Amino acid sequence: MSAEYTEDNIKTLSWSEHIRLRPGMYIGKLGDGNAADDGIYILIKEVIDNSIDEFVMGNGRTIDLSIRGTEVKVRDYGRGIPLGKVVDAVSKMNTGGKYDSKAFKKSVGLNGVGTKAVNALSSYFKVESVRDDKIKAAEFCRGQITEDHDIDSSSTRKGTRITFIPDEQIFKNYSFKLEYVDKMLWNYAYLNRGLCINFNGERYESENGLKDLLDRNIDEEPLYPIIHLEGDDIEVAITHTQSYGEDYYSFVNGQYTPQGGTHQIAFRETIAKVIRDHYGKSFEAQDIRASITAAISVKVMEPVFESQTKTKLGSQDVGPDGPSMRSFVNDFLSRSLDNYLHKNPEIASALLRKITQSERERKEMAGVKKLARDRAKKASVHNKKLRDCRVHLGDKDDRIADTSIFICEGDSASGSITKIRDVNTQAVFSLKGKPLNTYGLTKKIVYENEEFNLLQAALNIEDGIENLRYNKVIIATDADVDGMHIRLLLITFFLQFFPEIVKQGHLFVLQTPLFRVRNKKETIYCFSEEERQAALIRVGKNK
């Protein structure tokens, strides 16, 4: 029997009710603070973005941030919100200064949502604005105003202070991991030279921008000094290492875009073209970009992002009347990188040696890869090591973000997971014995080793992780010494040959229980001795 559909089914939600009902639309996933893209960090970012926009417009060189338990405070020294609009700015959708391109020319926040989302998703929220020797403050609970303070005189410096506590009704059992905040603040510092961020007694500032970013993030010695180039509304830093794959850091208007976007695509295409033109040789793009580590930052008028969390740029142009993103990046690199290589022949020679080395290795590997691909096709048919999910079996690529693959040790473990998995989105791959320790080995070993070759084929990462078939790669080994060893060998494999899978947050470890305590009424799985003892007491009481 179908449910009735009447006027009573039509609901009109307030702005805060809609945000609280559908928080994922505004801040992505919720989480508990154990991942860098969990919602509590997006709340911090949304507030800091407003302060960064003030700095970019030449107002205020310092941002103070403090986190004490669950309370967050962000104070900038910009212009301050106009006092008559303080309440509206944090509690009325589609209200904000970013709609006026004169006030915020190259801003990150453009849709008037960010601070409102923080307000609606906080159990306590307070905004204070100081300007013209006066202060206006208002306090909220879950988006509803609780105190609307009168405008009063103030002798403190102009600017805005936001205080909030994420709501535990939305973010269950959360806690802040300060290492994620640390990384976020360093990115802000690299992209905004001259800005000083004070966080819990630590100072974040950068003199050399993206060059400092690469210096801090490259674990090994680069093959040549970092190439650092700057132009109007664009900055890049480039080098190569001996690592495999490509590693990029991309930014728009001071906003980190971990999923890249049109600016990163333009950079990858353009650098191959510029290198070919400079050396006068028709190198393959994969040889030019092999082992590259690079950062690119652009400033764009009215940027278009593919989600509210702004992790991927969708803008095709740098502004309403500006050039396309591709031609903008191409014109800059064609001029600046070519000039740099002419002026620095030693670096140009080192870069050329790296490209020819990659070219030579690729050609040597061609025969090995063909044999390996043929072997992988046959093995996938006969050995049934991969039990795929229906998303791929049915070519439903629109659900790739929901897919996972469990890497198990042996047929028994994979069979157990296969029985309980979600066949629509979860695949299972079965290992045979302990994999090879790949530390310090070349990529040729991936194709010559049957287990790793088949795993690579299952993930579809031979030519890079752009075609990675599963959003989550989960190592699901036993909770014993052998399982730990296999787990470490697999992590070594990914770090050695496909570090982007780790860096971009695709690799996970399944935490399996150590004990099972049960009686006739219930079964309790325990992950520590303490949990086991508590379960024994509970089961005993239930007898």
Single-letter residue type at 342? H
When pLDDT is cut at 50, 70 and 90, the band that residue 224 belongs to is very high
When pLDDT is cut at 50, 70 and 90, the band that residue 257 belongs to is confident
Average pLDDT on 170-196 reads 92
Task: Tell me the per-residue pLDDT of 343-366, one tens digit each, with 9 for 90 and over.
Answer: 999 999 999 999 999 998 888 877
- In whole angstroms, give the CA distance from residue 361 to residue 354: 11
Tell me the CATH number of domain 383-509, given options 3.40.50.670, 3.40.640.10, 3.20.20.70, 3.50.50.60: 3.40.50.670
- In whole angstroms, give the CA distance from residue 467 to residue 498: 13
pTM, two decimal places: 0.73
SS3 430: strand
Model confidence at 505: pLDDT above 50: yes
Per-residue pLDDT at 101: 46
Model confidence at 151: pLDDT above 60: yes
210-359: CATH number: 3.30.230.10
Task: Tell me the per-residue pLDDT of 239-249, one tens digit each, with 9 for 90 and over.
Answer: 999 888 888 99
- Selected residue with higher pLDDT from 1 and 175: 175
- In whole angstroms, give the CA distance from residue 52 to residue 68: 22
Per-residue pLDDT at 442: 81
Q: Where in the chain is the domain with CATH 3.30.565.10?
A: 15-204
Task: Tell me the per-residue pLDDT of 100-116, one tens digit each, with 9 for 90 and over.
Answer: 444 444 555 444 468 89
The structure tokens listed for 474 are 């989960």
Model confidence at 32: pLDDT above 50: yes
Question: Residue 91 CB: number of other CB atoms within 10 A?
Answer: 22
What is the average pLDDT value for the chain, to the nearest integer? 85
Task: Tell me the per-residue pLDDT of 205-217, one tens digit each, with 9 for 90 and over.
Answer: 999 999 999 999 8
Average pLDDT on 481-506 reads 90
Per-residue pLDDT at 543: 46
- Selected residue with higher pLDDT from 2 and 498: 498
Q: Where in the chain is the domain with CATH 3.40.50.670?
A: 383-509
Question: Residue 15 CB: number of other CB atoms within 10 A?
Answer: 18
- In whole angstroms, give the CA distance from residue 428 to residue 416: 10
Q: How many CA atoms lie within 13 A of 385 on its CB side?
A: 26
**Residue in 64, 20, 92, 19 with CA at minimum distance from that of residue 162:** 64
Tell me the CATH number of domain 15-204, given options 3.10.129.10, 3.20.20.70, 3.40.50.620, 3.30.565.10: 3.30.565.10
Per-residue pLDDT at 307: 64
Q: Where in the chain is the domain with CATH 3.30.230.10?
A: 210-359
Per-residue pLDDT at 100: 45
Per-residue pLDDT at 110: 42
**Residue in 315, 272, 257 with CA at minimum distance from that of residue 504:** 257
Per-residue pLDDT at 94: 55
- Residue 226 DSSP one-character state: P
SS3 367: helix
SS3 501: helix
